[in-house]
């Protein structure tokens, strides 16, 4: 999952970024809303975390501007405001969810996972690694000239790995994205699906793309 954080509180911003990175996600952060639209236009983010009390302009104005530009990224509002009218205004302005400060990181991560599951599929967006391609619109995966017959879980696992090509995705992050921790903590379900996916990705003579990082997680890369 790739997340953009717009938060002027330095300590909180660093805490959120560190927590996301430790879970294997990509986190970019801004201290104010001036460049928010430019970042969202330049990259595919699964969620935007937006503080309402920003130094340059009100977070609601930033949100209204994003929706006016028809940027569909799911938005989680962070706010210290307690007035219900402010929260309603945020939802009416286009926010998908909100979280009051102070908050527990566990709840924060759960809200983000929920938003990511509802994120829009980008039309024509093809994720690639070497000669492996996955079309997020049609949900079709191909390796060179051959089509890959993947189950829904294998497809979800492949998409998470393709979003993080060259980076190790932790086991916890994969569980959160694919199973939402529905499997028992000691279950080997992730390893079973990873083995199945590895077999389907690599026919005889093809370079192995899916690598096990022992004790940590998995990485998709053309490099060993």
pLDDT tens column, 46-73? 899 999 889 888 899 999 988 888 777 8
Helix (H, G, I), strand (E, B), or coil: what is residue 108? helix
Q: How confident is the model at residue 123 (pLDDT cuts 50, 70, 90)?
A: very low
Contacts with 66 (C-beta within 8 Å, 6 or more apart), sequence order: 36, 37, 40, 48, 73, 75, 94
pLDDT at 216 over 90: no
Would you say residue 13 has pLDDT above 90?
yes
Residues of the chain with CATH 1.10.10.10: 126-220
Q: Which residue has the tokens 């967006």?
A: 125
Domain 2-117 bears CATH identifier 3.40.50.2300: yes
User: Which pLDDT score is estimated for 118?
Assistant: 61
pLDDT at 119: 56
* The CATH number, out of the four listed (2.60.40.10, 1.10.3720.10, 1.10.10.10, 3.40.50.12500), of the domain defined by the range 126-220: 1.10.10.10
Number of neighbouring beta carbons within 10 Å of residue 212? 14
Q: Give residue 86's Cα distance to chain centre.
A: 27
Kindly state the tokens that stand for 3. Answer: 């997340």
Average pLDDT, the chain: 85
Residue ranges of the chain assigned to CATH 3.40.50.2300: 2-117
Residues with Cβ within 8 Å of 157's Cβ and at least 6 positions away in sequence, in order, are: 174, 178, 193, 194, 197
Backbone angles phi, psi at 161, to 5 degrees: -65, -40
d(CA 20, CA 24): 7
């Amino acid at each position: 999952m790739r997340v953009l954080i717009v938060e002027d509180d330095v300590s909180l911003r660093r805490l959120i970024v560190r927590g996301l990175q430790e879970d294997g996600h990509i986190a970019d952060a801004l201290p104010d809303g001036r460049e928010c639209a430019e970042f969202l236009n330049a990259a595919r983010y699964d969620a935007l975390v937006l503080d309402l009390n920003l130094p340059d302009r009100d977070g609601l104005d930033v949100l209204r501007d994003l929706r006016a530009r028809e940027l569909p990224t799911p938005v989680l509002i962070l706010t210290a405001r307690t007035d219900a009218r402010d929260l309603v205004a945020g939802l009416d302005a286009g926010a998908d969810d909100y979280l009051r400060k102070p908050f527990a990181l566990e709840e924060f991560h759960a809200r983000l996972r929920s938003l990511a599951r509802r994120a829009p599929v980008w039309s024509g967006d093809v994720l690639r690694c070497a000669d492996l391609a996955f079309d997020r619109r049609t949900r079709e995966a191909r390796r060179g000239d051959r089509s890959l017959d993947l189950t829904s879980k294998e497809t979800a696992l492949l998409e998470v790995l393709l979003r993080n090509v060259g980076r190790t995705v932790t086991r916890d992050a994969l569980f959160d994205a694919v199973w939402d921790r529905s499997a028992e903590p000691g279950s080997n379900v992730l390893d079973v699906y990873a083995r199945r996916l590895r077999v389907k990705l690599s026919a005889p003579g093809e370079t192995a793309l899916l690598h096990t990082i022992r004790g940590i997680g998995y990485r998709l890369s053309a490099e060993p």
